[in-house]
Structure formats: structure tokens, C-alpha cells
Amino acid sequence: MEPVLLRARGVADSRSLAAYLAAGGYEGWKKALGMGPDAVTKEVLDSELRGRGGAGFPTGRKWSFVPKDHPGPRYLVCNADESEPGTFKDREIIEYDPHQVVEGVAIAAFAIKANTAYIYIRGEFVRWARILEDAIAEARQRGFLGKNVMGSGFDLDIWVHRGAGAYICGEETALLESIEGKRGFPRLKPPFPAVVGVFGQPTVINNVETLACVPHIIVRGAAWFAAIGRPKNTGPKLFCVSGHVNRPGVYELPLGVTFREIIEEHAGGIRGGRKLKAFFPGGSSAPVLTADEVDTGADFDACAAAGTMLGSGGVIVFDDTVDMVEVADNVAHFYAHESCGQCTPCREGSDWCMDILDRLVAGHGQAADPDTLLRICRFSSAGMTICPLGDAFALPISSIVNKYRAEFEHRIASATPLPQKKQPVLPWAGPRPGFGI
Amino acid sequence: MSTRPIVAVPPEALRIVTFDAAMEASIAELLPRYPTRRAAVLPVLWLCQERFGWISPGVVRAVAARLGESPAFVEGVVSFYTMYQTAPPARYVLQVCTTLSCAWCGGRELVAHLKERLGISFGEKTPDGMFQLVGVQCLGACGTAPVVQINDDYYENLDVAKLDAILDELAGRS
């Protein structure tokens, strides 16, 4: 397909406002200001654009939840936290086309009548935060932002807010807490952010890629957007392919292509002439798919039907040399590190899974381990926690145990007993015993 | 790429912190962006880390006083986020990604090599204060694995030879 979101990739000096204007930039913003907020929301609703951050919720509907008669300020937040393992698409958009993000933020803010927007970007992305700040300054200088934008009477300020290293802040309510200057503890929902969001005011949170789609929908129309992809799964999507493939990278494809096409055609197949073993279809929080499931369609509904999720579109590919017990262990380490610690099932469950998997990898597996893992996962997911981080580790780990159980059994069959730990006797007046570690 | 070294102010000099005019000007620029002063906690901490190299207990007290928060609240924020340094860091902090794609595409080899070359484990500094090794979770650059972030800069598509050349250059030995 013709590139839409990545059209600037490969264009000289593509980040500059001049290049963006030459490619028809900010036409959507001008058109939107003439249409009025309700018409903009209707256009996005008709395009059937679904959120690209992971949940796939219809964007126009999210906007329409903001109370119409709210007397105070409202806020738009752009989620550029991009911390799901396997995901590196927002960075690509910001790197080549930051004005596309700024324009998308502006149109969305106008649609919900927000005069302030924040772009929350992960702390590690120092360079990309600067790129965004430069683009915002350029747009403001040209009158696309600020007071009375282009004579419309609409005021808009956009600020970049940097995170400081916390995966959980990609979760929308944790992100709001982080903007408010607090620890990133997710909030209970309801109330949903569209009613009570940042600073207690109605707030809409959209992913970078979602917002980057918006100017194109306004300029080229909802029908054009809806014609790309499949019904209910419309538009172009950025797929981030990483791992054991010949050409890892970001590919822009219509929703609904198969993972086989993404992995074999676009990413050039498995490197070193090896065979595909397994892949995460949408970041490491999505249940893993096996080589036999590679013909699954890469869209929200097809993935859900296959028992997994499209998530953020981060396709992580493993070849046949990979030990799936080690993959589960790596996943457990990630989530045990990133659990915010608010809910016991997630905080303790992720740690417990990590301990068991570490032991399995070290060669001290026990017969009950696979079932224990499944039991922990069951009690950490499906509504047992405030936010979906409980599911985020429980689903991939339980899918690996279920689909690759033979590898667990194989390790357990050749396991040796766990060496006895030296138990410290306290109180101890001498040097600290170090607790046997 | 020329990565800027971190110059950490020694702990003795950060016991009691007062913000100078330049710092106050930066803070004054931040505050109008938010309806509450508390919202400026993260950005002000970033300003402090850029200026002092790390966040000492004295910095925590100064930030708390400036923004009308308790030191306990600010300390809670500092300890929650992994990127705020609570001890003086080395000149170059090597943050090696250890998550899925990086781990299986050469990241584990990089970790093993760095530990051997520098003679330190995760969380430690070399005795000359030049390098610090940190194992981090996904840096969001999985397509260019393996990745090491050195201070603010990403180094991608690495292998042992490339990383060695980078470290040689940073250490001023090349």
C-alpha cells in the first residue's frame, strides 16, 4: 500500500515544517477548524479508527464520552510512552514526521474542546522529546498553535511531559497520575478519564499512531480511511517486527494482512535459514502464537478470535533455536520489574512466576511447576487487579506453559534438586550472613 | 555521536541545595504549563538531575520546598521511577537492554562481554568512575537490537566489536 503514516520516511529533512507543509501538512488542521468539533468527531467515528495503543477502542467513541456541558477545562493527552516490549513505531513517526503528531494532537484537542494538550513521552526518549519540542515551537511560531489559532478563536497549548522510566505509565490512568507529579499508580475505573481525568477534569488519552491517523482522515475523508483494511478493522497500521527475522523494522500495512505475510514477505523471513517457532503478535503482553498459527490475520478481531491480541502491533519473532522456558523467564523478569506494586496478585504473582522460572532455567524444576505457574496466572488476571498489568504477564506466561508444556516437562525430567540454602541464625553479632545468596 | 559525560556533583556539595537564578528561571517557565505545582515535580527533578548529575536527599528537600510538597512525597516519586539516580553515577552509564528481542539478538553476549571487560556486574561502577553498568528493560528500539543507551543517547545494531570501539572512544583511548 501507499505509505500514509510513514510517507515522510526517506524524504530529505522530513522533520522540518517546510517539508511537512510541502507534503500537504496542516491542511487537516485548517479544515477541522472550519468544520467544528462535532463534525470532526463524526468524521473520526465514521472512519471506524480504533486506538493503536493496544486496546483497539474506537477513537471517535472515546472522544464522544467527554461530557458536553462540562464547565471547566478539558485535556487531551497523547500517549508516547511506547514501553511495550517489541514496540517501536511511535518513535519512527516522531523521528520522521513529528508535525504529523502535532497536527493530530491539535485536531483531537479541538474535537473535545481542550485548550491544553500534553504529550507524555517515555523518559529514555530524550532525543525524540526534543524533536517534538522543536516541532511544537515551529508550529507555534507559524500560528498553528497558541492564542486564537489562525483567527478561529480557539486557543491551544501543547506541552511535552517526560516520564522517568516506568512501563506502567503507558497505562492511561497511571500516565495521568504521572502528569500530576505522582508515582504511576493506575486508578480504579470508573470514573473513566473521559469524565474524571488529569487534574480531575475530562481527559482523552490517545496513542501517537492513533492521533497521526487523524489529519489524514480529516483531509481525505472517513470513507477513504474505512476502505483500507477490513470492516471494523480499518486503516493502515504500523507493525514493528523484531527478533529473528532478516529485515526487522517498522512496516506500514493495512489491518487484516496475515502474520505470515508480515514475517515472510515484508520482514524477509527467518534469519539464517532457520524455521519459525513462535511469535508474539502484539507486544509481550499478548499470548504467544505458534508457527502453526502464522496465518492468523493481523487485526483486532482476528487476533481476538485466535485467543490473543493485536496490542500495539509489536511482532516479536523467535526461531527454532529458542527455548520457550527462557522466553517465559525473560517475560516474567520484565513484568516483575515493572509491576507498580499496588495490587497483591500482580506484585506477588509476577515475582513468584519469576522465581519459579528462574529455578526452572537453572535446572532445578519441580513436577508441580507448570501447574503452579498456571494457577498463579489465573489468580493474577481477569479482573483481579486494578489495571491490566496482571493480565499482561499472566496471559503470555500461561500461553507459553500451555502451548510448550513439553519443553517444561523436558527440563523437569532432567532437573536436579535445589541445593539447600544456608539458613542464617539470628540474632547474629558477626558479619552479615548474606542470607545464603 | 558524541555522548555528553555526566558530571556528578559530590555528595558533600549537595547536602543543602539552593537553586540559582538560572534554575529558578527554568522552573518559572515550567510552572504555567500545569494547573497545580505538584505536576512540576517530574520536570523539576529532571532539571535537577541535568544540573547536579543525580538526586541527593538535599535535592529532594529543595524540590519539595520549592513546590510546596513534603520531602517524603518527592522521595516517593524519585524512588518509583527508575531513571532518577539516587547515588552519584559514573561519567558514562551503560544501560543494556535485557528484554526479549535484544536478549535473543546479541544482548546477552553484550552483557557478558561488558561484565568481563569492565570487571563489574549490573549496578556497579568501575573504580575510575568512568563506566557504570545497568541492565534495563525494553528501551523501545527492538528493531535495531541489541541496544545500549549511554547517558541520553541510543546506540543501536550493536555487536561486541562496535561496542568496544564506542567504549574505547568514550574512555579516550582510541
Nearest-CA neighbor of B148 among B85, B108, B97? B97
- Whole-angstrom Cα distance, residue A37 to residue A28? 13
Secondary structure letter of residue B117 according to DSSP? H
Tell me how far apart the 2 most distant CA atoms of chain B are, in Å.
Answer: 50
| Domain assignments of chain A as residue spans, ordered by start | 17-227, 230-319, 324-413
- Whole-angstrom Cα distance, residue A390 to residue A292? 27
- pLDDT single digits (tens) B30-39: 999 999 999 9
Which residues of chain B are at the A interface, by a Cβ-Cβ cutoff of 8 Å?
Answer: 33-36, 38-43, 45-46, 67, 76-77, 80-84, 98-101, 103-105, 137-145, 149, 152-154
Position A433 pLDDT exceeds 60: no
User: Counting every residue, how long is chain A?
Assistant: 437
Q: In what order do the strands lie in the sheet with A203-207?
A: A157-162, A116-121, A75-80, A203-207
Which 3-state string (H, E, C) describes A307-329?
A: CCCCCCCEEEEEECCCCHHHHHH
- Reported ipTM: the value is 0.95
A324-413 shares the fold of A17-227: no
Query: A230-319 belongs to which CATH class?
Result: alpha beta
Site from B100, B144, B158 to mutate, A interface, most A CB atoms within 10 angstroms? B100
- pLDDT single digits (tens) A293-313: 999 999 999 999 999 999 999
The nearest CA of chain A is from the CA of B66 a distance in Å of 14
| Domain assignments of chain B as residue spans, ordered by start | 11-80, 92-170
| Model pLDDT, residue A382 | 83
Report the percent of chain A where pLDDT is more than 70: 96
Position B163 pLDDT exceeds 80: yes
- Whole-angstrom Cα distance, residue B102 to residue A303? 25
pTM here? 0.94
Nearest-CA neighbor of A287 among A197, A398, A192? A398
- pLDDT single digits (tens) B92-128: 999 999 999 999 999 999 999 999 999 999 999 999 9
Is B11-80 assigned to CATH 1.10.10.1590?
yes
The nearest CA of chain B is from the CA of A65 a distance in Å of 23
Dihedral, CA of residue A97, residue A102, residue A107 and residue A110, to nearest 10 = 180
Q: Which fold has domain B92-170?
A: Glutaredoxin (3.40.30)
Query: A17-227 belongs to which CATH class?
Result: alpha beta
Position B136 pLDDT exceeds 60: yes
Cβ atoms within 10 Å of A4's Cβ, excluding its own:
19
| Inter-chain CB proximity B77 and A250 less than 8 Å | no
| Model pLDDT, residue A420 | 77
C-alpha cell at position B1? 555521536
Residue B57 class from Cβ within 10 Å (0-12 exposed, 13-18 middle, 19+ buried)?
Answer: middle
- Whether the CB-CB separation of A79 and A120 falls below 8 Å is answered with yes
Position A428 pLDDT exceeds 60: no
- pLDDT single digits (tens) A102-128: 999 999 999 999 999 999 999 999 999
Would you state the CATH architecture of domain A324-413? Up-down Bundle (1.20)
